[in-house]
Amino acid sequence: MNMAAAVRAVFNKYATFSGRARRAEYWWWTLALILTSIAVGIVDVTLFPEGMVPSSDLQSEGGDYEGPLSTILYLATLLPSLAVGVRRLHDVGKSGWWMFIVLVPLFGMLYLIYLNIRKGDEGSNLYGPDPLNAFAVSSSIAHSPQNEAPEATSPSKAVQPKRASWRAPSMGKDDFKSTQDRFKDK
């Protein structure tokens, strides 16, 4: 999975909190969101230097601002970010409610990072089938030597009809002319 595939997957499951998300999906989404936030922040500072509203962050020293484009990006990505976070927790066998652990200072954020880095449960769990195993199984089936395209049969190996009375229309038996022979004379 690459960044574009992860972003597509997250937006395709915009508000889907059920199921599981692979580590790659979660971390590529997170990286894409960080890079997009930086780019949108630069555009905000450039286009709206006077009209920006100071951030509500209590620790900001006056240099951290949220512009209108950053606010739109935040609102547009809030729900899919929560959804992919919950699905990622499902992949390690935890309920989505574990996202609230970030409310515990320092420890909560570190534990949530650990859960998101940890490899998901192998096989199915309470929240659905293993997304990594489903991908591996489907790709192994697609590339299996048993699934190669069948070879074309040669004319000598043509299937013969089961009924003895059957004959091809162009055989010309019983004084019947084939379609091609009928039109040759004219």
Is pLDDT larger for residue 124 or for residue 162? Answer: 124
pLDDT tens digits along 34-85:
999 999 999 998 998 876 666 565 555 555 567 899 999 999 999 999 999 9
Task: Give domain limits for the chain.
Answer: 3-52+65-127
Q: Which amino acid is at 59?
A: Q
CA–CA dist 84, 8 (Å, integer): 12
| The pLDDT of residue 140 | 46
Burial of 108 (0-12, 13-18, 19+ CB in 10 A): middle
CA–CA dist 123, 121 (Å, integer): 6
| The pLDDT of residue 86 | 96
| The pLDDT of residue 157 | 57
Q: In the predicted model, what is the mean pLDDT of the chain?
A: 80
Structure tokens that stand for 111 in this block:
């534990």
Please give the full DSSP string across 108-169, using - where no structure is assigned.
HHHHHHHHHHSPPPSS-BTTBS-HHHHHHHHHHHHT-GGGSPPPPPPGGGPPPPS-TT---T
Over residues 113-136, the mean pLDDT reads 86
List the alpha helices (DSSP H) in 13-124: 23-47, 68-91, 107-117
pLDDT tens digits along 125-178:
999 998 877 655 444 445 555 555 555 555 555 555 555 555 555 555 555 556
For residue 104, is pLDDT > 70? Answer: yes
Burial of 86 (0-12, 13-18, 19+ CB in 10 A): buried
pLDDT tens digits along 6-30:
999 999 999 999 999 999 999 999 9
| The pLDDT of residue 131 | 87
Residue listed under structure tokens 């200072």: 105
pTM above 0.95, yes or no: no
CA–CA dist 102, 24 (Å, integer): 22
